[in-house]
Amino acid sequence: TPEFQKAGDIGNRTLWVVFVIMLISSLAFYVMAFRVPVQKRMFHILTAFITTFAMISYFAMAVNDGVSYNKITIKQSQKHFPDTFQTIYREVYWARYVDWCLTTPLLLLDLCLLAGLGGAHILVAVVADLIMILTGLFAAFTVEIGPKWGWYAMACIAYLVVVYQLAYNGRGIVQNKDKKTATFFSAIAGFTLILWTVYPIIWGIADGSRNINVDAEIVAYAVLDVLAKPVFGFWLLFTHDAMSGTASIE
Ligand code: RET
């Protein structure tokens, strides 16, 4: 008999709560965007788009549209019987991957522009990031356990490229800016890298090895998403607004 793993009440309510948080922070970011001079508006617009995409994706997940099932068959070795197989269907929220494909490049753009990275560095970070998300999507939907972790490994390698761009190139280049900007970049990029590193860990224990149920997975990603988008956004924009003139980009 196949086993179904799907969201319950806790998961569904969590999706709605995060939808509302994304909605309110998007509105706040658009208002903030209008109140700064147009030369300083780039970060505000980027950040408002990030929470807008997340709001749409959380709405899709909350109304059960951005979700599908992944089937996986696990061989259970038993002593005296022929091999028995257990089939598990688990909900996979593909809306997350659409969201991440659009929002993680924008988050990286925020950080790259803050650091003052140039076109080639930005392109490498963004393309590596897209490869990370798309190979992660294959990992989520493949039916065999071997290829699953193969895709996962590819995604992790791509993630290391992203880390390198921010932690090495970003930190190097930002030294050309004023001291305040350099210090702020280290803090917010460090915060970002710590948060982002938790995503593959959650994926591994939820989607990958199915050690936590769908509700727990939803709650874990909810906490991470709120920190990575609205909290990140308010921190970036308030700090940027306060550093008058110093960190405007063009
Ligand atoms: C996956 C699984 C495969 C391995 C890796 C992953 C990394 C995902 C990351 C996601 C970041 C999302 C953010 C969302 C914004 O709110 C695809 C989970 C490395 C880093 C920041």
pLDDT tens digits, 123-174: 999 999 999 999 999 999 998 888 999 999 999 999 999 999 999 999 999 9
Q: Residue 225: which residues within 8 A CB-CB, separation 6 or more?
A: 18, 54
Asked if pLDDT for residue 45 goes beyond 90, the answer is yes
- Residue 244: predicted pLDDT: 62
Q: Is the pLDDT assigned to residue 250 strictly greater than 50?
A: no
The total of other beta-carbon atoms located within 10 Å of residue 142's CB is 17
List phi, psi (to 5°) of 14: -60, -40
Q: Which helix (H) or strand (E) holds 115?
A: helix 94-115
* Tokens found for residue 178: 């004023």
Measured CA to CA, the distance from residue 144 to residue 70 in angstroms comes to 11
At residue 248, the pLDDT reads 52
7 neighbors 218 (Cβ within 8 angstroms): yes
Reported pTM: 0.93
200 C-alpha to center of ligand 1: Å? 6
CB 246 within 8 A of CB 180: yes
The set of protein residues with a Cβ atom below 6 angstroms from ligand 1 is: 100, 103-104, 132-133, 136, 139, 152, 155-156, 159, 196, 199-200, 203, 225, 228-229
C-alpha distances (whole Å) from 105 to each of 50, 113, 128 are 9, 12, 10
Give, using CA atoms, the residue closest to atom 5 of ligand 1: 200
Position of tokens 């993680």? 104
User: 132 C-alpha to center of ligand 1: Å?
Assistant: 7
pLDDT at 76: 72
**Ligand 1 pocket test: which of 199, 201, 226, 234 has the largest number of ligand atoms within 8 Å of its C-beta?**
199
Cα separation, 146 vs 169, whole angstroms: 34
Please, which pLDDT band fits residue 34 given cuts at 50, 70 and 90? very high
User: Is the ipTM above a cut-off of 0.95?
Assistant: yes
- For 75-107, the pLDDT digits (tens) are 776 666 677 788 889 999 999 999 999 999 999
Ligand 1, atom 2: nearest CA belongs to which residue? Answer: 136
Secondary structure E strands in the chain = 3-5, 68-76, 84-92
